Amino acid sequence: MCCCQLFGWSSNALRSGRQLPLAEFRARGGATADNPDGRGVAWRVGDAFRLEREPRPGFDSAQFNRVIDALHSDLIVAHVRKARFPPSTA
């Protein structure tokens, strides 16, 4: 696998992070896929958005796990990063 991976969820009802396959996606951040270079989650809270990110593998991130436990939203986007070395200048 060469690239970052994204997870997206849109619903007409609020869902908790544990009601969605976010734990499985979290594992793609270095445990079940080669995406160990960082992770992020954004979700809607009312009329605003929250963003949590960090430059560590998602699969062993306690912060990512806490976000999955705490979030309730109808719109969620998550990302596990695969850095490109050397970096692209294009």
Q: Give 11-20 pLDDT, tens digit per residue.
A: 999 999 999 9
3-state SS, one letter per residue, for the chain = CCCCEEEEEEEEEEEEHHHCCHHHHHHCCCCCCCCCCCEEEEEEECCEEEEEEECCCHHHCHHHHHHHHHCEEEEEEEEECCCCCCCCCC
Q: How many CA atoms lie within 13 A of 88 on its CB side?
A: 5
Tell me the two tokens of residue 35: 């995406």
Residue 83 has pLDDT above 80, yes or no: yes
Predicted confidence at residue 1, as pLDDT, reads 47
Which residue has 């958005």 as its token pair?
49
Nearest to 21 by CA among 34, 38, 5, 37: 5
User: Model pTM?
Assistant: 0.84
Q: Give 29-79 pLDDT, tens digit per residue.
A: 989 988 999 999 999 999 999 999 999 999 999 999 999 999 999 999 999
